[in-house]
Amino acid sequence: MKILVVGNGGREHAIVWKLKKDDPSAQVFCAPGNAGTAAIAENVAVPADDVAALVAWARENRPDFTVVGPEVPLCLGLVDELEAAGFAAFGPVRSAARIEGSKSFAKEVMAAAQVPTARARVVRSEAEARDAVSEFGVPVVLKADGLAAGKGVMVCLSQDDVETALRDLFSDNRFGAAASEVLVEEFLEGEEASILAFVDGETVVPLASAQDHKRLLDADEGPNTGGMGAYSPAPVVTDDMLAVVESQVLRPVVAELSRRGISYKGVLYAGLMLTATGPKVLEFNCRFGDPETQAILPRLATPLLPALQACRAGTLSPDLVAWDPRPAVCVVMVSGGYPGSYRKGIAVEGLDEAATLPDATVFHAGTAKRGGVVTTDGGRVFGVTALGETLKDAVAAAYRAVVKIKFDGAFYRSDIAWRALARKD
Ligand code: AMP
Ligand code: GLY
């Protein structure tokens, strides 16, 4: 079995790790990958968003299956192009990936499917935006319509924040074409949770729940990041709530897309705010979450590839997915300065020592190997994941490995899973 995984983050290392764990004889490639994927698979020096070069690689190397990790190649139509060239690929086609690629499209689909979400107005100018802000009142949330590498959402708690956001979006044009449309959205309060599901065009099979930690600092303070850690399951998501999300969010969206002639196949990720009046959708992603995947896949007791193949073939069923009951925690280690500017190329020490700890797995994200040495190569550098009999055990095991790993400027949150731990006490 020859498998290509597209991407270079912690999510892709976790996908490669799971595929190799399920089938050590599988020949796995990762484009472009990182130092972690290079250790267990073969890296391919093609960027994840170079659709033409990836299709050319496939024609030459003939993978049996391709798994596309990040949203950018999905929104560029990599799956469409691979399938058109005769290669089986996992992930939504371009028209389906718009559920993440355009927030106004996602809102329109949610409205048609009567999915609970924040009230919002789509605006095209600063004047229209001001009008909408005065309608909703402050706090309010402004969002660039298109993909903005996780930076296009501005939660404005004060009028000053609104002014900064308006400047970024309209005067400074910081987001380019991604902000030709802007969503002004009602501010929602509550705890957040991520529900990811496998979808085969029709059937929806939710994965184990997870919670991300978007803020940089302990106690959810500081700027938003790509995600500083995750754990699974999220005890705030009860079975009843999961059933509500499945019946009121996931199935209606898939059905509405299907009604529009769009067959959604892949992972559908609903970012939810659990409000006093029930779960409401903050956003959809058209892919596995990062770092949620690093906490979810170590708990997947069934092999990954058959589930991915069933999504593509339209033969998905719940018995393809079973879970290890033990919780998992992923602590993300980042470069000093992240999410602002940071240095790259800093040597990492202690990985061998961390690898000797039985319960922990170190997923690489922004790493590269230079002259036999692992160095930092991005903002999020590692996702250190551990399973435990209890959540507390899992947290302790993850941090036991984290403290072994050292690089200049390394930073991580010390309170991953605090909400779930507080709930239990
Ligand atoms: P998103 O990229 O849409 O998930 O937004 C990033 C973060 O902004 C979310 O994880 C929330 O913490 C916050 N956010 C987005 N939309 C809202 C909203 N309507 N109300 C409150 N917070 C929001
Ligand atoms: N963890 C958030 C995301 O994957 O977008």
Q: What pLDDT band is residue 425 in, cutting at 50, 70 and 90?
A: low
Q: What pLDDT band is residue 180 in, cutting at 50, 70 and 90?
A: confident
- The answer to whether the CB of 154 falls within 8 A of the CB of 165 is yes
Superfamily of segment(s) 120-186: ATP-grasp fold, A domain (3.30.1490.20)
Q: What pLDDT band is residue 178 in, cutting at 50, 70 and 90?
A: confident
Cα 153 to averaged position of ligand 1 atoms, centre (Å): 7
Residue 264 to residues 81, 100, 274, Cα–Cα distance (Å): 16, 12, 25
Pocket test for ligand 1, best of 143, 191, 273, 285 (most atoms within 8 A of CB): 273
Cα 211 to averaged position of ligand 2 atoms, centre (Å): 10
Q: State if pTM tops 0.85.
A: yes
pLDDT in tens, 42-85: 999 999 999 999 999 999 999 999 999 999 999 999 999 999 99
DSSP type of residue 361: E
The secondary structure of 170-202 as a DSSP string is: IIS-TTGGGGSSEEEEE---SEEEEEEEEEESS
Kindly state if the Cβ of 385 falls inside 6 Å of ligand 2: no
| Residues facing 280 on adjacent strands | 273
Kindly state if the Cβ of 191 falls inside 6 Å of ligand 1: no
Kindly state if the Cβ of 245 falls inside 6 Å of ligand 1: no
Q: What are phi and psi of 349, to 5 degrees?
A: -120, 155
The CATH number, out of the four listed (3.10.20.30, 1.10.3720.10, 3.90.600.10, 3.40.50.2000), of the domain defined by the range 328-424: 3.90.600.10
Q: What pLDDT band is residue 419 in, cutting at 50, 70 and 90?
A: confident
Mean pLDDT of 227-246: 94
pLDDT at 424: 62
The topology (CATH level 3) of 191-320 is D-amino Acid Aminotransferase; Chain A, domain 1 (3.30.470)
| Secondary structure (H, E, C), 264-300 | CEEEEEEEEEEECCEEEEEEEECCCCCCHHHHHHHHE
Distance CA 384, CA 231 (A): 11
Cα 223 to averaged position of ligand 1 atoms, centre (Å): 12
pLDDT at 385: 98
Omega before 139 within 30 of 0, i.e. cis: yes
pLDDT in tens, 265-278: 999 999 999 999 99
pLDDT in tens, 339-378: 999 999 999 999 999 999 989 999 999 999 988 999 999 9
Q: Is 247 helix (H, G, I), strand (E, B) or coil?
A: helix
Distance CA 36, CA 56 (A): 25
Express the helix, strand and coil content of the chain in percent, nearest 5 each: 35, 30, 35
Omega before 223 within 30 of 0, i.e. cis: no
User: What percentage of the chain has pLDDT greater than the value 90?
Assistant: 87
Mean pLDDT of 12-27: 98
- The answer to whether the CB of 187 falls within 8 A of the CB of 141 is yes
Which residue owns the Cα nearest ligand 1 atom 11? 282
Residue-range domain boundaries for the chain: 2-93, 120-186, 191-320, 328-424
Sign of the alpha-carbon torsion through 150, 156, 159, 162: positive
HSE of 337 in the Cβ direction (CA atoms, 13 Å)?
A: 10
Mean pLDDT of 99-123: 96
User: What percentage of the chain has pLDDT greater than the value 70?
Assistant: 100
Kindly state if the Cβ of 192 falls inside 6 Å of ligand 1: yes
pLDDT(380) > 60: yes
The topology (CATH level 3) of 2-93 is Rossmann fold (3.40.50)
Cα 265 to averaged position of ligand 2 atoms, centre (Å): 19
Q: Residue 193 corresponds to which amino acid?
A: A
Q: What is the mean pLDDT of the chain?
A: 95
pLDDT(179) > 80: no
